[in-house]
Amino acid sequence: MKQVNYDDLGNTLRALCEGESDEIALMATFVCEVHHCDDRFDWTGFYRVTEPNLMKIGPYQGGHGCLVIPFSRGVCGAAARERAVQLVPDVDAFEGHIACASSTRSELVIPVVSAAGRLLGVLDIDSDRPDAFTQEDADRLTNLLNEIFRQVA
């Protein structure tokens, strides 16, 4: 089973994203690298803030995702609304979970913030395995997001 090496992932992302400030280009590159580095990651994508309290799907890898998610609904909405990481070992136990894919068993959602403190959206990683994500996954991916997206004003 392929599992992420965060040091290698960080080095790759730094090299690919150096000097880039376009948030969509960064999201596309970030999600591609993350999705393919670990077999636990069944769906990996961004939901972008497009208007107050509303996100629309951004760059992603995997099957179809929900097109629109309000801040008031689901794990992604909670991450955006609270600006806090959501580490959900069992999506069926998360009240208000939005089932974009019936195969999702666990989820990790991390808010993405620009250098100026603007909420750009959230990184959503779904797994078809229960309890697939660890606190280390949350911490290391949060650090990488903060590093890469500080290039965005």
Question: What are the pLDDT digits (tens) for 58-85?
Answer: 999 999 999 999 999 999 999 999 999 9
Whether residue 102 has pLDDT greater than 90: no
What pTM value is reported for the model? 0.96
pLDDT of residue 11: 98
- Give me the domains of the chain, ranges plus CATH numbers: 6-149 (3.30.450.40)
Please tell me the distance from the alpha carbon of residue 78 to that of residue 6, in angstroms, as a whole number.
26
108: number of Cβ within 10 Å: 26
Please tell me the distance from the alpha carbon of residue 101 to that of residue 84, in angstroms, as a whole number.
23
